[in-house]
Structure 1
Amino acid sequence: MGLFDKLAGWLGLKKKEVNVLCLGLDNSGKTTIINQLKPSNAQTQDIVPTIGFSIEKFKTSSLSFTVFDMSGQGRYRNLWEHYYKEGQAIIFVIDSGDKLRMVVAKEELDTLLNHPDIKHRRIPILFFANKMDLRDALSSVKVSQLLCLENIKDKPWHICASDALKGEGLQEGNKFSSCLALFHIEMHLGIIGRIIVVKLALVVK
């Protein structure tokens, strides 16, 4: 039993479901990342572009995650906002080798952050600067600068470089997922929960 399962049991939390939105431009690697995060016996070898959206489910002994894999194609991005209210956490994937469309990625991110269903919520965001294996790929630091992530002051966020095809960099994302579990517990416990979360976060570090 992991740390967060023990915490959930100690606090008497019942099974809860966390809805995660996976967003980003087309061909950034969203579906591949989600596939790598699934248990090995549930992974697929055939990854195809997402049309509209698809839904994946993951479970731990204490939490159930539902991931909405939203298509990044231009004609489908208008669907994103219809699921913002459902989202309790966001995974935003960037193709770090696609320098030409970095401006488009920033525009979509800005639109997301300024949407009424997102703007005033302290929703956690995990950024993947994907395709770090490409020769001319930008570093996660450079991607962060181009997207102006330092301006995000009211939401917990983290960025990590990844190569989704090989599964590299996703472990760092898993650490953030653990923080999401703590954040989910914090939302349901108020000030006492916040004190516990801070203490546990110090232990995890």
Structure 2
Amino acid sequence: MGLFDKLAGWLGLKKKEVNVLCLGLDNSGKTTIINRLKPSNAQTQDIVPTIGFSIEKFKTSSLSFTVFDMSGQGRYRNLWEHYYKEGQAIIFVVDSGDKLRMVVAKEELDTLLNHPDVKHRRIPLLFFANKMDVRDALSSVKVSQLLCLENIKDKPWHIWYITAPVHSEIYIRNKGEIYMNK
């Protein structure tokens, strides 16, 4: 069973076709993570920053995923809200090594959670605390505290810590830890 199948199971997604929004600040690793979730023959070797958004489609044994990889650059974040209605799950990626921008990530998360197209839906949220290999990176517990994830009571959510180097594959360890195999 692939990672997307496991994600779908955890997120409680039963539909055959699933739309996933991938959000987070610029340089958090969204595109790299999405690229590594694809089958190896569909992965790209060169990762470039997303301008606006890109759409990736994956098929697993039981589901078809459409992933909206939304740019995290400040000038493009206003585009996110135009896709909230389409999303059946949200992946929110944070750079756990970028302590200074954690406040901005929190503000963007609050904006997302309070948007009318998200606020009253029980949309599942998966948080990736990325770049855990960076010196002095925040733990997933600290990231969870800084984002105030414990205050999310009306949506299922989970946080996984991850390191997503460009040339690797993603695997899940016990207790939701994800690791990359080069």
Smaller-chain TM-score range? 0.7 to 0.9
Contact 1:90/1:125 (<8 A) preserved: yes
- Cα distance, 1:16 vs structure 2: 2.1
Q: Which residues of structure 1 form unaligned runs of 5+?
A: 5-12, 177-205
Structure 1 segment 85-104 matched on structure 2, within 5 A:
85-104=85-104
More helix, by proportion: 1
Give the match for residue 186 of structure 1: none
- Cα distance, 1:43 vs structure 2: 0.7
CA distance in 2, matches of 1:29, 1:146: 19
Q: Indicate whether 1:48 and 2:23 are aligned.
A: no
**Cα deviation 1:44-69 (Å, max 9, x = unaligned):** 11000000000001112321000000
Give the match for residue 10 of structure 2: none
Q: Please identify runs of 4+ aligned residues in structure 1 that moved more than 4 A.
A: 166-170
Rg bigger for which structure?
Answer: 1
- SS of the residue corresponding to residue 103 of structure 1 reads helix
- Cα distance, 1:171 vs structure 2: 1.9
Q: Which residues of structure 2 form unaligned runs of 5+?
A: 6-13, 178-182
Counterpart of 1:19, as a letter, is N
Give the match for residue 162 of structure 2: 162
Give the match for residue 126 of structure 1: 126
CA distance in 2, matches of 1:125, 1:41: 28
Summarize the Cα distance change of 1:162–1:169 in structure 2 as closer, same or farther, 3 Å threshold: farther
Structure 1 segment 74-153 matched on structure 2, within 5 A:
74-153=74-153
Q: TM-score, normalised by structure 2?
A: 0.85
Q: Indicate whether 1:171 and 2:176 are aligned.
A: no
Counterpart of 1:61, as a letter, is S
- SS of the residue corresponding to residue 75 of structure 1 reads helix
- Cα distance, 1:31 vs structure 2: 0.1
CA distance in 1, matches of 2:29, 2:72: 10
- Cα distance, 1:167 vs structure 2: 4.8
CA distance in 2, matches of 1:76, 1:104: 14
Give the match for residue 194 of structure 1: none
- Cα distance, 1:96 vs structure 2: 0.3
CA distance in 1, matches of 2:160, 2:133: 13
Give the match for residue 67 of structure 1: 67
Summarize the Cα distance change of 1:130–1:148 in structure 2 as closer, same or farther, 3 Å threshold: same
Contact 1:162/1:168 (<8 A) preserved: no
Q: TM-score, normalised by structure 1?
A: 0.75
Summarize the Cα distance change of 1:35–1:169 in structure 2 as closer, same or farther, 3 Å threshold: closer
Summarize the Cα distance change of 1:97–1:46 in structure 2 as closer, same or farther, 3 Å threshold: same
Quote the sequence identity (%). 87
Counterpart of 1:156, as a letter, is P
CA distance in 2, matches of 1:84, 1:172: 30
**Cα deviation 1:155-204 (Å, max 9, x = unaligned):** 1110011111165875259x79xxxxxxxxxxxxxxxxxxxxxxxxxxxx
Counterpart of 2:62, as a letter, is S
- SS of the residue corresponding to residue 143 of structure 2 reads helix
RMSD: 2.2
Summarize the Cα distance change of 1:106–1:25 in structure 2 as closer, same or farther, 3 Å threshold: same
- SS of the residue corresponding to residue 19 of structure 2 reads strand
- Count of aligned pairs: 165
Contact 1:19/1:68 (<8 A) preserved: yes
